[in-house]
Structure 1
Amino acid sequence: MLRQKLAQAPKTKLNQTLRSWLDVLMCGADELKETIQGLSDKNPFVDIQTNFKQSKKSYFRQISKNTINDNSELYTIDTPSLYDVLLSQISPPLFPTLKSQNIAFKIIECIDDEGYFEYDDDVLSGFDVADIERVRARFAYLEPSGVGACSVNECMKFQLVELDLDDDLQKTCEILIDNLDTISNYKHLKLYSSAVAIIKKLKNPPAIEYLHSSTNVTPDICINTDDGIKVSINDEVYPLVVIDTEGIDERMEFVASHVKSAKELVDALELRKATLYKIGLMIVEYQYDYFMGGDIKPMRLKDIADELGRSASTISRAIANKYIDTPRGTIAIKSFFSTALDDEISNAAIKSYVSELVKNENRAKPLSDNQILELIRLKFGVNMVRRTITKYRKSLNIASSSERKRIYAIA
């Protein structure tokens, strides 16, 4: 049993390290190097080495140091957000006046993560609706194509603008977009096949590439099932902490104090690894069926905390912003644990069920959020509100029932 392999570290050492270096345990893999660097900046005997920079430092040989690596540009990729991209395009000649620019900025505030516009009285107060719509119409010329539309239909029409189609084909596409629910009734149109081919290539939602880029994360734990189930820590994310006291008397009070602090930092990193490794083992033990292709089972923070002899708050901090790489994809560790719904039901189980419902729904009559809510109540016996289902659906990149109906009609 995996449980027999879990050796507990002394609680005294854990508590001392947590008090001194809690940030090390809490930060995600992508933030680890920066966190360690911040904790060691004032320690003259510590050098942080990574795959990008391998150097050795001595306090007396290098009194001052550069805070920016000369090669940093090689590893820095600027990925602007959807809103950065939109804001950079609000300028003449498309938005020639200060008024049109101000309205455009307010419109951007009303655009959700998927790129769709939703009217907000509070944000747009003080502007005439006609003026707002005139400015919003110009978003058809912005990137990403289709952004700022109110619906799937309008999003498609926005995207047609940049295709520069001939008049007849443009008109046919618009007719079909306006009648997605009954699109097959227009097969008699001369350019029907060409128009359908174009419509199928249009994207939904308009900001889909930005949704995708936000999912790029670095896992802390790796699960391999090629030859049984193996748990490992992603060592590549851990910087090497080098304590350099060459030629220095470590008995000096100044030196001894900083060396002690440096060793605590090394201990904190090792504790982080050990804690996450133990959590990985426990997840595999509790979720064995999931790694073999089954569903995620209910799992409470308290259960794993009791098994490891730690508090639930410590485990909660340890899994925050952490990800696990599995044969079924990279997912947040917290997805395995129940939160807010019920001690026996996990969010991941609910989301998985929603995904399955939509996957197997009647395409002629897609399930509404209210219908999904009722099915969840029947299966899990939990009380939820419709807006929670809507939130889950959006997090899974599942369109609304009316939008899915239109998409099914096209497909």
Structure 2
Amino acid sequence: MSLSPKLQLRQTQSLVMTPQLLQSIRLLQLTHTELEQFIASEIESNPLLERDERGDREAEMELEGTGGEYDALPYSAASMAERLDSSLENLFPDDPGVQETIGPDLSAQWRSAAGNGIAAAGNDDFNLEAVAAAPVTLREHLREQIAFAFHDPASRILAEALTEELDEAGYLAADLDEIALRAGADRAMLDRVLETCRTFDPPGLFARDLADCLALQLKARDRLDPAMQALLSHLDLLARRDFRTLKRLCGVDEEDLVDMLAEIRTLDPRPGAAFTSGTADPIVPDVIVRRSADGSWAVELNPEALPRVLVDETYFATVSARARGEEKLFLSECLQNANWLVRSLDQRARTILKVTSEIVRRQDAFLTHGVRHLRPLKLRDVAEAIGMHESTVSRVAANKYMMTPRGVFELRYFFTTAIAAADGGDAHSAEAVRDRIRDLIEAEDASSVLSDDAIVELLRSEGVDIARRTVAKYRESMNIPSSVQRRREKKAMAGAVA
């Protein structure tokens, strides 16, 4: 076998991911807030870009005609607000700190209200909006009280040291001996300072744990009687809903126990969280779905979530005529990047509208009748219907929101797994099954609490072929306790013998 050089022609196909292509993919999955930040950065660095100041409707009309309207039966808008549950399971929040103390079963609606602070400005550039938006931190709030509570410098230094050790919830988990050693003070003096700090506003600060935090708040209300102290000493029993044992330990009857639990529900397990400065970005829907006069669904892009930019070609022509060398090259790159950004934003808007229009077409029954009629849907189904890749649909569905007559939903909400029908008919959406499980449990009373097996039988009688472990998984995902715990709770609330 001889080796010799040969010349061959070969034709192959490959995908080259240019920087601009990668940037276009990134633009597609950005949220509204992230996109605004990206555009602001581009405008700042590119002299040829500027905001489109035309009216929202005029700018939006360029994209009309790419969406769709779908026939729909008349519907009545349903309230999507959750009922404020007064059950005992809502005594404690789904909070890691509280869960660590009382266990994972108790969770729900216990939240601290956000704190608002005002900072004074003494210069001539007074800005009312900036002043109103400046929150007071927890440590600033406490320093004001320290100045009035302590008169000697040594006590103030110790109070400041204790304040620096507080976590975001307002708890003091640090080693007191170590704080005293670091401050050069004896432990007895530190304890005296701490006792004064534990009377600061809001009540519950400087607590060592959850029970201590609640005790401080009850003490401030003059409600820390022996029965309450016994209840706080056995929060683990409350987590297990062992009301029989709690009544015996606290020495109260069922009516008194329910009153005590109602009072605990009004307390704040994280008093320091009211001073956190973090803010949540409001949800801006990317798409708005309305019913047209003919009963069909009209799908429109939200003008508020439709950032638009213009390329100042007049300025480019004026400046490039006098530019030479590197300046001319810089202007050419700016023009190329500006044109790319305009095209990418337009393509992003059209892609979002195309995907959401197909979702609306397939989920017409949900918009008309509610969550019980949500159909199983996969990313692949939408991708094949509109002629796009599944990954593109996935990027569009991430962190995008649709405003409908039934509320604002993330696009991913409409993509749910299928649960087979018992009679071999159309499959059921997992979200619709969750809603049915929630309804069955809410309709219970103390004498007819449903076990997971009973729920399985009821669902199968309604045509849903579901396993017991799936029911348990859905129930736990909705923070619904087991049938044993629900029975104890309902009996306690009804005043029956637990």
Asked if TM exceeds 0.5, the reply is: yes
Q: Does 1:21 align with 2:24?
A: yes
Question: 1:20 aligns to what SS in structure 2?
Answer: helix
Deviation at 1:340, TM superposition (A): 11
Which residue in 2 is equivalent to 1:270?
A: 346
Which residue in 2 is equivalent to 1:352?
A: 435
TM-superposition CA deviations, 1:39-93 (whole Å, max 9, x none):
4443221124689xxxxxxxxxxxxxxxxxx98956995789xxx9799989989
The residue type equivalent to 1:381 in the other structure is I
Question: 1:246 aligns to what SS in structure 2?
Answer: helix
Q: Does 1:259 align with 2:335?
A: yes
Which residue in 2 is equivalent to 1:284?
A: 360
**Mapped partners of 2:369, 2:410: distance in 1:** 18
Which residue in 2 is equivalent to 1:32?
A: 35
Q: Does 1:335 align with 2:393?
A: no
Which residue in 1 is equivalent to 2:312?
A: 244
Query: Alpha carbons of 1:43 and 1:274: their partners in 2 closer, same or farther (altered >3 Å)?
Result: same
Are the aligned partners of 1:86 and 1:143 in contact in 2 as well (CA < 8 Å)? no
Given the alignment, which residue of 47, 50, 55 partners 1:47? 50
The residue type equivalent to 1:329 in the other structure is G
Given the alignment, which residue of 274, 277, 299 partners 1:231? 299
Q: Does 1:160 align with 2:218?
A: yes
The residue type equivalent to 1:281 in the other structure is S
The residue type equivalent to 2:466 in the other structure is G
What RMSD over aligned residues (CA atoms) do the two structures have, in Å? Answer: 5.9
The residue type equivalent to 2:334 in the other structure is H
Given the alignment, which residue of 286, 294, 301 partners 1:220? 286
Deviation at 1:303, TM superposition (A): 0.4
Aligned length: 341
Question: 1:330 aligns to what SS in structure 2?
Answer: strand
What's the TM-score, normalizing by structure 1?
Answer: 0.58
Q: Does 1:293 align with 2:369?
A: yes
Which residue in 2 is equivalent to 1:202?
A: 265
Deviation at 1:316, TM superposition (A): 0.3
Are the aligned partners of 2:289 and 2:403 in contact in 1 as well (CA < 8 Å)? yes
TM-superposition CA deviations, 1:108-144 (whole Å, max 9, x none):
7xx9xxx99xxxxxxx9xx9xxxxxx99xx9998869
Are the aligned partners of 1:50 and 1:239 in contact in 2 as well (CA < 8 Å)? no
Query: Alpha carbons of 1:385 and 1:166: their partners in 2 closer, same or farther (altered >3 Å)?
Result: closer
The residue type equivalent to 1:261 in the other structure is N
Moved more, 140-149 or 213-222: 140-149
TM-superposition CA deviations, 1:271-297 (whole Å, max 9, x none):
222122122211211111111123211
Deviation at 1:314, TM superposition (A): 0.6
Mapping 1:31-110, distance limit 5 Å: 31-48=34-51, 105=167
Mapping 1:378-393, distance limit 5 Å: 379-381=464-466, 388-389=473-474, 392-393=477-478
Deviation at 1:345, TM superposition (A): 6.5
Question: 1:292 aligns to what SS in structure 2?
Answer: helix
**Mapped partners of 1:18, 1:75: distance in 2:** 43
Query: Alpha carbons of 1:176 and 1:48: their partners in 2 closer, same or farther (altered >3 Å)?
Result: same
Which residue in 2 is equivalent to 1:319?
A: 397
Query: Alpha carbons of 1:47 and 1:193: their partners in 2 closer, same or farther (altered >3 Å)?
Result: same
Question: 2:369 aligns to what SS in structure 1?
Answer: coil
Identical positions, percent: 21
Mapping 1:391-402, distance limit 5 Å: 392-394=477-479, 402=485
Which residue in 1 is equivalent to 2:445?
A: 362
TM-superposition CA deviations, 1:215-247 (whole Å, max 9, x none):
942211122247432222111123331322434
Q: Could you say which structure has the larger radius of gyration?
A: 2
**Mapped partners of 1:98, 1:383: distance in 2:** 55
Question: 2:375 aligns to what SS in structure 1?
Answer: coil
Question: 1:232 aligns to what SS in structure 2?
Answer: strand
Question: 2:394 aligns to what SS in structure 1?
Answer: helix
Query: Alpha carbons of 1:196 and 1:356: their partners in 2 closer, same or farther (altered >3 Å)?
Result: same
**Mapped partners of 2:436, 2:280: distance in 1:** 24
The residue type equivalent to 1:199 in the other structure is A
**Mapped partners of 1:24, 1:303: distance in 2:** 23
Are the aligned partners of 1:338 and 1:345 in contact in 2 as well (CA < 8 Å)? no
TM-superposition CA deviations, 1:172-229 (whole Å, max 9, x none):
77789989847999xxx99x7898399269348957999xx86942211122247432
Question: 1:239 aligns to what SS in structure 2?
Answer: coil
Deviation at 1:31, TM superposition (A): 2.1
Which residue in 1 is equivalent to 2:92?
A: none
**Mapped partners of 2:431, 2:141: distance in 1:** 37
Query: Alpha carbons of 1:201 and 1:103: their partners in 2 closer, same or farther (altered >3 Å)?
Result: closer
Question: 2:46 aligns to what SS in structure 1?
Answer: coil
Are the aligned partners of 1:301 and 1:338 in contact in 2 as well (CA < 8 Å)? no
Query: Alpha carbons of 1:202 and 1:158: their partners in 2 closer, same or farther (altered >3 Å)?
Result: farther
Unaligned stretches of 5+ residues in structure 2: 1-14, 55-125, 147-154, 179-190, 322-327, 421-426
Unaligned stretches of 5+ residues in structure 1: 1-11, 52-69, 117-123, 128-133
TM-superposition CA deviations, 1:4-25 (whole Å, max 9, x none):
xxxxxxxx9xx99753322221
What's the TM-score, normalizing by structure 2?
Answer: 0.50
